[in-house]
A and B are shown apart, each in its own frame.
Chain A
């Protein structure tokens, strides 16, 4: 069934393909913006000498291209490339009591690899990734399919409401849920007391990661739902017609047409979620104030890097941690992408 869909590479062009299909649908809309006076296709044919591709005309176009790209490039170099290069540079030095800053090669990296706090933090976010991301994307997938099914009452209301938490800052989300979890004026405590139940303390050591997972799920289910829903909307209607003529039911259509069509969007959502999980910082950092004994300074790798640099004055080691964290993220994201691409080819 999947073979009748337009085949696309699932690598870097993942979202581009989804975009391309949507864009084509609306192409007729792109032109009626008052350009009719200059849009004569016959004129391009009658004056071939002035077409791009000749001499100084081409050079002028190249220069314009560079000029338009330049502002982005400048900020890109200042805000991304330079800090990255500086982090790598810093990570090769150590600040010593005696002798000041000295070049130590990869010593900071060797230390990072053997660092139990860093290792535990990485394992923690890996566990988070393995549990929270499938739950979140599963819910998002269910919501997107439900809204797209045409069998749901008030689809628009659900679409808007479930997306809303995306507009709530992670800080505010963490404060709300953190207070709700708490025992002072928290909702769990109130419900537990009202029902006479001994509900678990969500801010305790054994529940904290799940509590953070719930916050992140709440924040991003709607975002991923819209991402997947937009991809569903791009499925050509003829596919559904053909499936209905063949006698396929709603579940069968969802399984055989919609899920394959959602693969690229699901991959994009997965990659973003992987990056987000490894970066986990805002929620645990806020919760640290509410449960300092549970959320330690090295709870996530990012919190560790932050606390090393700003509370421990270990700037060089912190830079090495940041670089290793970035590398791990890129490797995992890239592996997932490659694995998906290979599976697509095998089909």
Chain B
């Protein structure tokens, strides 16, 4: 799938809209390539450093050069140690992150798709006001809401439970905005009208026609909600107290706090475990991005996900 989407024909470069571009492709600029190689190095540097150091023992960490292998390559030993540390709490955190991301991002994408479709294709009274309200919410700093969210949730007694992380993850004003833009073009009014004339109910139209047309936009919103929930730190940090419910981000930050608390030798997390845990926590999303390239490469800016 990845290979197919990356052929020039599929990316639209060779379609009728841009014949001039493909002709200009021959003249390469070495200066430009060198400049971009510098950017490439800057991007890769910390990741390479992480990969090298996640494979080192605690001793090598301090005694060998950061951008090269240590005396022993013991990544798999470290991975084992990471999963064993603290009665296997890392695996629990991993599971929590998967739960929060899949349910939160999946739910957010479903709600945004339904809502965006409704706003784009149904002319019900009040829709402009509702849309303006949601657009206004995009510019509200999400973290400014976190402390009040904690207080509100503690009132209704769902603090320190998965619900406190999941409920706020379910709403994505920007996702709704994207889906409204996307649905406006992806679902032609003429199809809806014809289906109604044929006697199809609105739910049936949604199920059999609209959802299929909205699928690429859905995947884009899903992917970006997935990143947002997988990487979420501030909200879970605030609403969760029990380590068993932590996602990876909060857990790793806690290990870091322990390692730097100075109470050496009291069974605190070691740097090699933190580094290995960090490496493990970024692998799934990087794989997801590599597999779903065609969605984010064209779909990020807007609803421009159609190929």
Contact = CB atoms under 8 A, between A and B. Distances in A.
Interface of A: 12, 15-16, 18-27, 29-31, 33-35, 38-41, 43-44, 47, 50-52, 57, 60-69, 71-73, 75-76, 78-80, 82-84, 86-87, 90, 139, 142-143, 146-147, 149-154, 156-173, 175-177, 179-180, 184-187, 190, 194, 218, 221-223, 226-227, 230-231, 233-234, 236-237, 240-241, 244, 265, 268, 271, 275, 278-279, 281-282, 285-286, 289-290, 302, 305-306, 309-310, 315, 318-319, 322-323, 325-326, 329-330, 333-334
Contact of A39 (B142, B143, B191, B203): B191
Interface of B is mostly: helix
B290 interface: yes
Contacts of A279: 141-144
Contact of A27 (B65, B185, B233): B185
B195 A156 contact: no
Given A64-B122, A75-B167, A22 B230 contact: no
B77 to A, nearest CB: 18
A265 B141 contact: no
A227 B300 contact: yes
A38 B115 contact: no
Interface of B: 6, 12, 16-22, 24-25, 27-29, 32-33, 35-36, 39-40, 42-44, 46-47, 49-50, 53, 61-62, 65-67, 110-112, 114-115, 117-119, 121-125, 127, 130, 134-135, 137, 139-152, 167-168, 170-171, 173, 176-178, 181-182, 184-188, 190-191, 193-198, 200, 202-203, 206, 209, 212-213, 227, 230-231, 233-234, 238, 248-250, 252-253, 256-257, 260, 271, 274-275, 278, 281-282, 285-286, 288-290, 293, 296-304, 306-307
A163 B18 contact: no
A61 B122 contact: yes
Given A78-B167, A310-B238, A325-B144, A44 B28 contact: no
Contacts of A175: 252-253, 256, 274-275, 278
Contact of A19 (B134, B147, B149, B302): B302
A330 B140 contact: yes
Contacts of A153: 28, 33
